[in-house]
């Protein structure tokens, strides 16, 4: 059934969903990679599409910006639309010195300054982590294609405009990059018993000021898209075994 945020009917959305933050990146992926793509959502201009990639049914839907937006859409996909797997394909700011603009970061886990986990009433501090099989499949796909990538910890922040010096302690702890959605996705997946992975392309380096344009962020991060689609294919094939 449709929700206040999603016009899709049950069955309109595939078991594996790719989730960029930007609705126009979702549209770009659908138009560039998916055959027979049909739009299932445009409520609040959060575009969602289902089509096929290499003969496998795949959906792509925007998450919007920030943990609350990602949390709403991923929760509904997991709980109301029987989605099993969500792969975030977003942008991030590179923090570690070895991380360069246009590199991919595959998030093994995410630190955060968000209070999102408080709702689960846990007697301690949870470590939001990716599904290992998805992580391994993404690494394999990147390796096969010769793409430059990093695997490790990222930082999900609720604050976009802040004192950049606040990032330096995270760098000293080996955190690779900062973004604004992954912790909501990982915790929702863990709570639902579902599977999630966040892959990000480095769009800027906050500590040096280097940055790509909005247009580049929308349409040029095709390596990340291809890795995510390869993972979606592997997931589809495993479900049919």
**Residues with catalytic roles:** 204
Distance CA 227, CA 241 (A): 22
Distance CA 136, CA 141 (A): 9
Distance CA 34, CA 18 (A): 12
Beta strand 56-61 with 85-94 is: unpaired
131: CB partners within 8 A, 6+ apart: 85, 189, 195, 196, 197
Q: Give ∠ CA 232-237-238 in degrees, rounded to 5.
A: 100
For 95-173, strand residue ranges (E) read: 104-112, 149-156
Measure CA 11 to chain center.
22
44: CB partners within 8 A, 6+ apart: 5, 64
């Amino acid at each position: 059934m449709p929700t206040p945020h999603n016009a899709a009917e049950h069955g309109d959305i595939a078991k594996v969903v790719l989730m960029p933050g930007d609705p126009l990146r979702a549209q770009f992926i659908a138009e560039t990679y998916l055959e027979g793509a049909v739009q299932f959502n445009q409520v609040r201009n959060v575009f969602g599409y289902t089509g096929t990639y290499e003969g496998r049914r795949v959906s792509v839907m925007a998450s919007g910006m920030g943990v609350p937006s990602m949390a709403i859409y991923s929760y509904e996909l997991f709980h109301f639309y029987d989605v099993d797997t969500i792969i975030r394909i977003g942008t991030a700011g590179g923090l570690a010195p070895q991380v360069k603009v246009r590199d991919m970061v595959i998030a093994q886990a995410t630190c955060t300054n968000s209070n999102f986990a408080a709702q689960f009433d846990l007697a301690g501090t949870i470590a939001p982590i990716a599904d290992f099989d998805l992580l391994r499949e993404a690494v394999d796909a990147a390796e096969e294609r010769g793409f430059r990538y990093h695997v490790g910890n990222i930082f999900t922040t609720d604050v976009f405009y802040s004192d950049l010096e606040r990032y330096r302690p995270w760098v000293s702890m080996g955190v690779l990059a900062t973004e604004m959605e992954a912790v909501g996705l990982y915790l929702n997946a863990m709570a639902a018993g579902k599977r999630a992975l966040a892959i990000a392309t480095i769009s800027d380096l906050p500590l040096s000021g280097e940055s790509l344009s909005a247009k580049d962020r929308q349409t040029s991060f095709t390596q990340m898209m291809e890795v995510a689609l390869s993972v979606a294919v592997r997931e589809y094939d495993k479900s049919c075994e």
